[in-house]
Amino acid sequence: MQLESSSTSKEQLSFLQFKKEVLHDYKIAVISRECSVLGRREVLTGKAKFGIFGDGKEVPQLAMAKAFKKGDFRSGYYRDQTFMLALGELTPQQFFAGLYAHPSLKADPMSGGRQMGGHFLTHSLDKNGDFKNLTEQYNSTSDISPTAGQMPRMLGVAYASKLFRKIPEVKNPKFSNNGNEISWGTIGNASTSEGIFFETINAAGVLQVPMIISVWDDDYGISVPAKFQTTKENISEILKGFQRDENSKGYEIFVVKGWEYPQLIEVYNKASKIAREEHVPVLIHVKDLTQPQGHSTSGSHERYKSKERLIWEKQHDCIAKMRDWIFEFELQDENNNTLKFVDSESELIQIEKDAKKLVSQAKRDAWNAFLTPIKEQKNRLVSLLEKLAAKSENKVFINKLKFELSNISEPARKDLLSIARKVIVFVRNENSIEKKQLQNWVTSYLNSEQSKFSSHLYSQTNKKVSHVKEVLPTYNDNAELVDGRIIIKDNFDTLFSKNNNVFIFGEDSGNIGDVNQGLVGLQEKYGKLRVSDTGIREATIIGQGIGMALRGLRPIAEIQYLDYLLYALQILSDDLASLHYRTVGTQKAPLIIRTRGHRLEGIWHSGSPMGAIINLLRGINILVPRNMTKAAGFYNTLLECDEPALIIENLNGYRLKEKLPNNLGELKTPIGVVETIKEGKDITVVSYGSTLKIVENVVKDLNQVDIDIEIIDVQSLLPFDVNHDVIKSVQKTNRLIIIDEDVPGGASAYLLNEILEKQNAYEYLDSKPITLTAKPHRPAYGTDGDYFSKPNAEDIFETIYHIMQEVNPVKYKKLY
Ligand SMILES: Cc1ncc(C[n+]2csc(CCOP(=O)(O)OP(=O)(O)O)c2C)c(N)n1
Ligand SMILES: [Mg+2]
């Protein structure tokens, strides 16, 4: 409904329609407010753990919902419940299910209880994990808690519209209608202080994409006022330089008060027209918003807001203002009749009463749905304990625990399991059917409930990485020896020609074909949108990829050097790595991140922070190919899968010679499978990436002193050795050394843990297992810096020799 229609609607009928819409909006607003009010109460009475609600931000969200079309996407934050309610993508009952953390997608479609309430999404995938028709539904990417964390992907979602519009071959009716879709963002005023906010704003201006970012400005970020958050205390004021004009492209910027319902509708209409039609980014600064109940349930704003401010907030509560506007609205029709939305206040009071009733019922329903299955289990358990106690010599103890359990009227799963598992300890020496029944109950309950909290870290569909079988490289008889970079480039060439949905982008990736020439000539061949340069902005390069992947494209985001991945680590960890898990497999972003690293020169060009990466990025496949043929094989594998991955190419491998395969684009490196690259009998050497070359180089020297090593290439850190091949080697050699360039206790410790604990290697070891790593500091510059910082050939030789020397000091004399 446009504002103009209100002032020009002379006909009774259209006025009636307008009135209906306004009153419906009002109803949504009060329902939303009531959810916040009761939600807070649920936390304060202990039914829910924490609550962060959308009160005080209701009215602008109604306006945003009106301009939001099917096919559009939202990337927002925890205040957006009204928007979701207005679209019909959230019901009050689901709102409460989220608050109670009901671990079921049916009850809580927003995350199956995994996320704190207030984190919203829509489901992009069907039961098989395939994309639904995203143009026929409202879409919301899945929220994350870190402030401004929604920004990078918002860019990618918007950028996808540009690609869908500009590249005819990419058109796909399931994903886009000529790129008409808008990426709608919301963010709190204080969160605009984050670096990734500014990085995203700049990138969207450069890329000219249909992104509308609304800043919900309530002058505070928890207790910290705008004065400490934003220069001039005014985000639209300081972003004025982004405003487009006749000479240069940029943003359209609107400022509007958060309680002016008709103006908000007008602004949102204008904004959506600009973004949708012209692909111009828009900033809407929504001011004068309030926090009727304070920031969240963990504190009260009376502690830090002045009396005057609190009074002002009461007076400017957007719902109260909307109510006044509805109540006072009058229009003369052509016959001089006065048209009003309501004839008396009682109509509004009725709406408010109905809303309260509805929300209260929804809350009760959600709580009952949450509690009933646990209570049923509780009753079963109580009866099992009763029976067991009757037979047990530990009757007194069991009865005490049973009594404790009976008294918990609203139990959690934890209460049940804690008590049952304690009882098992009491009856450990007993033998009875009742004990067996209790044991069965514990294992089956643990079994059935654990997956509710732990499933979907990776794909569970037939597109998971483990489903792709290895395809070995094949060679012509007279296969050429070429630089590794040629192999990677020719492989990309084949991939781009085979699949129009594949894109690659990063710093220097386009025009010069990346800093190591792995993409040379490909921009010319496939165009500036398929192979493109980006600004220096690692976090939003990743966000660009996440957003594109969420919309069905197959992006490869390039981070120039591994060391610079750290700028993107937050978004990789918080957003990409957790995406499939936190959405319980209802969204996927099979983004491939390409980077290069390990051995080079200097503190910021030769890092290998693999421990940090594998620990922060569970949910992403972490691959460390030893050469470019292996790397090419990983890209080919991944493009058949629906999981995200990071591929770290060897920086020093681009100029090393490899035989040119004749099945580029087809060869596939399996993921999660190690490779034995040299057999030997004395010791198993596990390594990966650049270090492997050095290990290979000491083989001869070790042979000369009669040490025969077996070398295993890890290839894939996450997942690692799914077939447990390393243990087969250790069973033979009875000795193990793990070598990498990470710090002590980094990825080598992870590998040791996997091999010792998961594969039970300790049973077969005759020598202490050793990790040989870099020094704990960053690698110093230059040849000697490298030599003294990272494991070198002599270190490797001597460490292995030393292990053998301990085994047989007669044969292997001490070196020092
Ligand atoms: C990276 C990060 N830092 C800190 C927090 C803790 N935190 C949660 S909300 C919030 C304030 C956000 O204020 P604003 O962006 O204005 O949004 P509002 O809650 O006022 O709507 C803070 C500091 C967080 N979630 N993430
Ligand atoms: Mg704020």
Q: Assign 3-class secondary structure to 755-794.
A: HHHHCCHHHHCCCCCEEECCCCCCCCCHHHHHHHHCCCHH
Q: Is 190 in the pocket of ligand 1 (CB under 6 A)?
A: yes
Q: Is 220 in the pocket of ligand 1 (CB under 6 A)?
A: yes
Tell how far the Cα of 252 is from the centroid of ligand 2, in angstroms: 22
How far is it, in rounded angstroms, from Cα 215 to Cα 192? 8
- Which H or E run includes 139? strand 139-140
Closest atom of ligand 1 to 188 CA is 15
* Closest C-alpha residue for ligand 1 atom 14: 188
- Nearest ligand atom owner, CA of 571: 1
At residue 752's C-alpha, the angle toward residues 749 and 754, to 5°, is: 110
Q: Is 191 in the pocket of ligand 1 (CB under 6 A)?
A: yes
How far is it, in rounded angstroms, from Cα 643 to Cα 279? 30
Q: In which band, very low, low, confident or very high, does the pLDDT at 774 lie, cut at 50, 70 and 90? A: very high
Tokens of 34: 């009531």
| 7 has pLDDT over 90 | no
Closest atom of ligand 1 to 217 CA is 16
Contact 176, 68 (CB under 8 A): no
Tokens of 381: 């358990």
User: In Å, how far from its chain's centre is CA 207?
Assistant: 23
* Closest C-alpha residue for ligand 1 atom 18: 188
Q: At CB < 8 A and 24+ separation, what contacts does 42-47 make?
A: 42/96, 42/99, 42/100, 42/363, 43/99, 43/297, 44/297, 47/100, 47/367, 47/410
Res 10: pLDDT: 52
Neighbours of ion ligand 2 (CB under 5 A): 188-190, 218, 220
Res 599: pLDDT: 76
As a whole number, mean pLDDT of residues 767-774 equals 98
pLDDT > 90 fraction of the chain, expressed in percent and rounded: 95
**pLDDT per position as a tens digit, 110-161:** 999 999 999 999 999 999 999 999 999 999 999 999 999 999 999 999 999 9
**pLDDT per position as a tens digit, 540-567:** 999 999 999 999 999 999 999 999 999 9
Closest atom of ligand 1 to 191 CA is 15
Q: State whether the Cα torsion 779-620-541-566 is positive or negative.
A: negative
| 12 has pLDDT over 80 | no
Tell how far the Cα of 147 is from the centroid of ligand 2, in angstroms: 11
Res 11: pLDDT: 63
Res 400: pLDDT: 98
How far is it, in rounded angstroms, from Cα 555 to Cα 563? 21
At residue 180's C-alpha, the angle toward residues 176 and 186, to 5°, is: 100
Residues in the chain: 816
Tell how far the Cα of 263 is from the centroid of ligand 2, in angstroms: 21
| 528 has pLDDT over 60 | yes
- Which H or E run includes 444? helix 433-454
- Other Cβ atoms less than 10 A from the Cβ of 639: the count is 19
* Residue 179: burial class (beta carbons within 10 Å; 0-12, 13-18, 19+): buried
Closest CA to 181 of 100, 71, 74, 64: 71
- Amino acid at residue number 749: A
Largest CA distance in the chain: 114
* Closest C-alpha residue for ligand 1 atom 26: 146
Phi, psi of 434 (to 5 degrees): -65, -40
Q: Is 54 in the pocket of ligand 1 (CB under 6 A)?
A: no
Res 710: pLDDT: 98
- Nearest ligand atom owner, CA of 191: 1
| 492 has pLDDT over 80 | yes
As a whole number, mean pLDDT of residues 390-396 equals 96
To test ligand 1's pocket by mutation, which of 78, 145, 147, 213 has the most ligand atoms within 8 angstroms of CB? 147
Reported as half-sphere exposure (CB side, CA atoms, 13 A), residue 756 has a value of 18
Question: What is the torsion angle, in degrees rounded to the nearest 10, for the CA atoms of residue 529, residue 533, residue 537 and residue 539?
Answer: 40
As a whole number, mean pLDDT of residues 181-207 equals 98
Q: In which band, very low, low, confident or very high, does the pLDDT at 70 lie, cut at 50, 70 and 90? A: very high
To test ligand 1's pocket by mutation, which of 36, 115, 191, 285 has the most ligand atoms within 8 angstroms of CB? 191
Res 4: pLDDT: 45
| 170 has pLDDT over 60 | yes
- Nearest ligand atom owner, CA of 56: 1
Tokens of 785: 């810096």
- Other Cβ atoms less than 10 A from the Cβ of 128: the count is 8
Closest CA to 722 of 430, 352, 470: 470
Q: Is 554 in the pocket of ligand 1 (CB under 6 A)?
A: no
Tell how far the Cα of 301 is from the centroid of ligand 1, in angstroms: 14
As a whole number, mean pLDDT of residues 406-415 equals 97
Tell how far the Cα of 143 is from the centroid of ligand 1, in angstroms: 13
- Nearest ligand atom owner, CA of 116: 1
**pLDDT per position as a tens digit, 264-290:** 999 999 999 999 999 999 999 999 999
How far is it, in rounded angstroms, from Cα 174 to Cα 751? 42
Tell how far the Cα of 256 is from the centroid of ligand 2, in angstroms: 16
Contact 100, 370 (CB under 8 A): yes
Q: Is 152 in the pocket of ligand 1 (CB under 6 A)?
A: no
Tell how far the Cα of 324 is from the centroid of ligand 2, in angstroms: 24
How far is it, in rounded angstroms, from Cα 4 to Cα 119? 35
| 299 has pLDDT over 90 | no
How far is it, in rounded angstroms, from Cα 541 to Cα 520? 20
Tell how far the Cα of 144 is from the centroid of ligand 2, in angstroms: 17
How far is it, in rounded angstroms, from Cα 115 to Cα 94? 13
Tell how far the Cα of 317 is from the centroid of ligand 2, in angstroms: 14
pTM over 0.95: yes
* Closest C-alpha residue for ligand 1 atom 25: 146
* Closest C-alpha residue for ligand 1 atom 8: 147
CA-to-CA separations, 105 to 39, 115, 289, 410, 703, in angstroms, rounded: 20, 12, 32, 21, 59
Contact 661, 633 (CB under 8 A): no
Q: Is 417 in the pocket of ligand 1 (CB under 6 A)?
A: no
Tell how far the Cα of 359 is from the centroid of ligand 2, in angstroms: 26
Res 616: pLDDT: 98
| 807 has pLDDT over 80 | yes
Q: Is 205 in the pocket of ligand 1 (CB under 6 A)?
A: no
Q: In which band, very low, low, confident or very high, does the pLDDT at 333 lie, cut at 50, 70 and 90? A: confident
Contact 628, 450 (CB under 8 A): no
Res 335: pLDDT: 87
Q: Is 637 in the pocket of ligand 1 (CB under 6 A)?
A: no
Tell how far the Cα of 152 is from the centroid of ligand 1, in angstroms: 17
* Closest C-alpha residue for ligand 1 atom 7: 147
Closest CA to 689 of 756, 631, 772, 746: 631
Q: Is the peptide bond before 719 cis (omega within 30 degrees of 0)?
A: yes
- Nearest ligand atom owner, CA of 287: 2
As a whole number, mean pLDDT of residues 759-764 equals 97
Q: What is the mean pLDDT of the chain?
A: 96
Q: Which residue has the tokens 């009463």?
A: 353
